[in-house]
Structure 1
């Protein structure tokens, strides 16, 4: 039976809301087709609200949780009307991550799914991470279930978004973990040079690598830990941004791009990965991709634009489909939780 689902994704890099309409069907295995997809850039007002959400009082954060839910619902409704869509079975929303501290047993993605349901009158699945955190997992990464069931033809899948994360099969289990910050740091540095992001890595290409800074970055404890492990914005504020203060942005961009490439290549080489599918906004950073190719013998595959930009939104739609069918949609081998489970709240 075919299921039509919409996936909503807002990444830590705040480049906008990804909306992906896809059709899923299970025969001997799962098949998918992206039918429509677009990114709706945030207004300056919404970008500021989401960027500053980490500093809000409890009451203001609760208000934003509701407001953002209605915003998501309204934007989804416009998307449906614009494309004259019918017979949508469900909406699955990632929400926008404000806090992610699994070691303290909480993670928060704002955007109340009940508000999305009120705006669209379509069943909504949301809050996919909290249950995993309560089950002693990292609440991340969640995308490996989609990598396993929709993209099994590749040795590994690498996403270059706000953070880089990888998913691969090891000893017959799908493992996954965050590798390093990417656009959450690179965009911040580019903005100091009045660019919203470092297009093609052109700014980093002009800079000189600061070897002392590079050593400091590579020496951070996170990189010495084994998986499962995940990163959050708070970690960058604590461990990355203070190290970049006082360093010229172009130099910092060159150094941090080298740092990302070294950390990713180390993981690829250690796991003997033959081919790797690369998605997320960082796939367009040609300088970063060149550096990864230089440091590894793996075949680096950059897919079509739809998969680069909407793979995460696609997989959250898929997680909603699995939840609707009461099937496992979170892998404990990826998150470190006590068991595989079926996660998400239904509105």
Structure 2
């Protein structure tokens, strides 16, 4: 039985930082299994945070330079992580950081050059998991559902609450998944205006009251009425959501409270549409799963037939890094890791580009 020893790297739209997960992944009979043995999250310093946030506005040459320097930085962080824990590593599997996501124009771009990452870390790297799917006419997102299907099949629904909320579930033998809409991106935008990185445990949101006008404006966003497959990126947030929030004259607590009700209402609408049984389980991971007020509000809106389950803190924080490690394993085995039923591509594919260290 071969055990793959992989480091998964993930940087999400919420800009919380870089997640590193050292995973052992193996197949026992017909089922894939895993262990996260070591993990680490590295917060971005102010300069890197701002550069990543504003990278969508960089001229092409500056973006490509940043693509290379960020790749080197990723490699350096991976190398330190390996040395700190004396890890035996087969390869590194990196998502990179999405700067541009416009699949309707055939465009998705994750910075973090694979070659620079490989050279700086001294290890083989698999990255760029989204481009091939977009080239096949797909959304290039979400990609985590392959992990939901093969690693977390005991749950009826898998919900990720990162910068964006997305959901994954089985229907008639097919895995379906799509971006629901907002999650931590709007919450962090509200707190960052007063210099707070985030609202820990939703403590500030809990103190607020509902702003019905803001809730109505958010619920009326066109994206929610689109059929799936569908996905969004930071561009959509800046264009469609930021003006609504910035034009709202209300306390931070009330805005946070309203945003959480909005997030949970939209999730509940999507989940309830798919429920076929009297008892269902919903696995929640991503930073939003650590927001106790959000989780309580979500359970309240879903009702008693759908049980919200949050796993260990390690899995909450590192599930995406784990799944990208797993996608790298599937790529090496030339097995499907991008599902056309999820992305809308012409066909399933085994995506990811391999870079060797020099």
Normalising by structure 2, what TM-score? Answer: 0.95
Determine the C-alpha separation between the residues in 2 that align with 1:52 and 1:217. Answer: 24
2:333 match? 325
Of residues 259, 272, 282, the one that matches 1:256 is 259
Question: Deviations for 1:307-336, whole angstroms, at most 9, x for unmatched residues?
Answer: 100000000000000001111000111111
SS of the residue 2:289 aligns to = helix
Root-mean-square deviation (CA, aligned residues, Å) is: 1.0
SS of the residue 1:343 aligns to = coil
Aligned partners of 2:79 and 2:122 also within 8 Å: no
Spell out the pairing of 1:199-238 with structure 2 (5 A cutoff): 199-238=200-239
Cα distance, 1:218 vs. partner?
1.0
Of residues 41, 44, 56, the one that matches 1:42 is 44
Figure out how many residues of one structure are paired with residues of the other and give that number: 346
Spell out the pairing of 1:1-347 with structure 2 (5 A cutoff): 1-27=2-28, 28-86=30-88, 88-247=89-248, 248=250, 249-272=252-275, 274-296=280-302, 297=304, 298-347=306-355
Question: Deviations for 1:27-53, whole angstroms, at most 9, x for unmatched residues?
Answer: 221111111111011122211221121
Question: Deviations for 1:233-256, whole angstroms, at most 9, x for unmatched residues?
Answer: 111111111111232232221211
Cα distance, 1:121 vs. partner?
2.1
Q: Which runs of 5+ in 2 are unaligned?
A: none
SS of the residue 1:95 aligns to = strand
Determine the C-alpha separation between the residues in 2 that align with 1:335 and 1:246. Answer: 34
Determine the C-alpha separation between the residues in 1 that align with 2:349 and 2:126. Answer: 15
Determine the C-alpha separation between the residues in 1 that align with 2:36 and 2:210. Answer: 40
Q: Which runs of 5+ in 1 are unaligned?
A: none
Range 198-207 or range 136-145, more displaced: 198-207
Determine the C-alpha separation between the residues in 2 that align with 1:194 and 1:64. Answer: 26
Question: Deviations for 1:17-72, whole angstroms, at most 9, x for unmatched residues?
Answer: 00001011112211111111110111222112211211111111011000000000
Cα distance, 1:269 vs. partner?
1.1
Determine the C-alpha separation between the residues in 1 that align with 2:96 and 2:282. Answer: 27
Determine the C-alpha separation between the residues in 2 that align with 1:190 and 1:7. Answer: 29
Range 61-70 or range 225-234, more displaced: 225-234
Cα distance, 1:196 vs. partner?
0.9
SS of the residue 1:141 aligns to = coil
